[in-house]
Structure 1
Amino acid sequence: MDLATRVGHALQASERMLCTAESCTGGGVAQAVTEIAGSSAWFDCGFVTYSNVSKIEMLNVSNALIAQMGVVSEEVAGAMAEGALANSNADVALSTTGIAGPTGAVPGKPVGTVCFAWSSAERTHTERLVFQGDRAAVREQTVIHALQGLLRFIE
């Protein structure tokens, strides 16, 4: 809650609105920020794009990009965040795509692999991390890192 509150204060101070594009977190980031009373002043909307089709149709992620890089990639995370910005009234977006487990690992991408992106009109920053733990732990760590990364991105 403290982290989401800090995000809200930072967004309000910079007069920006946030949107999210989430896959592996299933809307967990949007839930965390909307737990804060008054978040409608700085949170525009969230896209939960769990399937590849939803990423393509709702966020304009290229099917060719998914085929080339894999859905769990920094490139797809960046496209998701940029697509969320293009399809919302927000000024800044964050995205998550990953393998929360316990299945889904592929060569080079073990369970716990998560790609993040933070985007504004000026730039997009991406990261790839590998978290430890069960599905719930990976998802929780992902939400926390997404919000911490957002604070760094906007401050």
Structure 2
Amino acid sequence: MTASDQELSEAGARLGKLLERQGRMVVTAESCTGGWVAKVLTDRAGSSAYVLGGLVTYSNSAKEGLLGVSGQSLADHGAVSEPVVREMVAGALAVTGADVAVAISGVAGPGGGSEDKPVGTVWFAWGRGQASTEAVVAHFPGDRDQVRRQAVLFALQGVSDFLGAS
């Protein structure tokens, strides 16, 4: 199972139109997707109306230094965890002043997995502030590219659902 370029493009366009209608700016804080969510959102002409920016915080030191993720959270829970993606959202909002943020941290593979966090485990969070942040974990099958594609699609759809309900 994978997400096609067309599916990603359509999901990005849907979220972009929703952000435009609501007059909101989004920021991405990405780890395992390496900026792919920001890429999909900025593929659409006029995306500067709703994309404030994106931060690729692949390493733990980048998560700490750029987003203010607690070293204690990283030590206690690991980068692929609910506390860390929640802190990534909070940090991205604080650093940029965006209206909404999405954060992604996962194990895309082929290595790096563990018994409790196998390859394909990805944590997501999206929110407009600490009180409104939602976090969810997903487990995707496939190789590195397939896991990343599915994670990008899941993130785009998740933020769309979140904003549609708020």
Name the residue aligned to 2:25.
17
By how many angstroms is 1:89 displaced? 2.7
Identity of aligned residues (%): 48
Query: Which of 65, 77, 80 matches 2:85?
Result: 77
Match of 2:35 among 24, 27, 41: 27
Partner of 1:143: 152
Show the counterpart of 1:100. 108
Q: Give the Cα–Cα distance (whole angstroms) in 2 for the partners of residues 9 and 89 of structure 1.
A: 20
Q: Which amino acid in 1 is paired with 2:78?
A: G
RMSD (Å), alpha carbons? 0.7
Q: Secondary structure at the match of 1:87?
A: helix
TM-superposition CA deviations, 1:124-155 (whole Å, max 9, x none): 00000110000000000000000000001101
Greater Cα offset, 75-84 or 54-63: 75-84
Q: Which has the larger displacement, 49-58 or 66-75?
A: 66-75
Query: Match for 1:2 among 6, 10, 13?
Result: 10
Residue of structure 2 equivalent to 1:40:
48
- Using the TM superposition, give the Cα deviation of residue 91 of structure 1 relative to its aligned residue in structure 2, in angstroms: 0.3
C-alpha distance after superposition, 1:51-75 (max 9, x if no partner):
0000000000000011111110011
Which deviations, in whole Å up to 9, do the C-alpha atoms of 1:102-140 show, x marking residues without a partner? 000122110000000001035100000110000000000
Aligned residues: 155
Is 2:130 the counterpart of 1:124? Answer: no
Shift of 1:40: 0.1
In 2, Cα distance between the equivalents of 1:107 and 1:74? Answer: 17
- Per-residue Cα deviation, 1:69-102 (whole angstroms, up to 9, x for no partner): 1110011111111110010031000010000000
Equivalents in 1 of 2:106, 2:148: separation in Å? 9
Return the letter of the residue paired with 2:52: D
Question: What secondary structure sits across from 2:96 in the alignment?
Answer: coil
TM-score, with structure 2 as normaliser: 0.92
Structure 1 residue ranges, 4+ long, deviating more than 6 angstroms after superposition: none
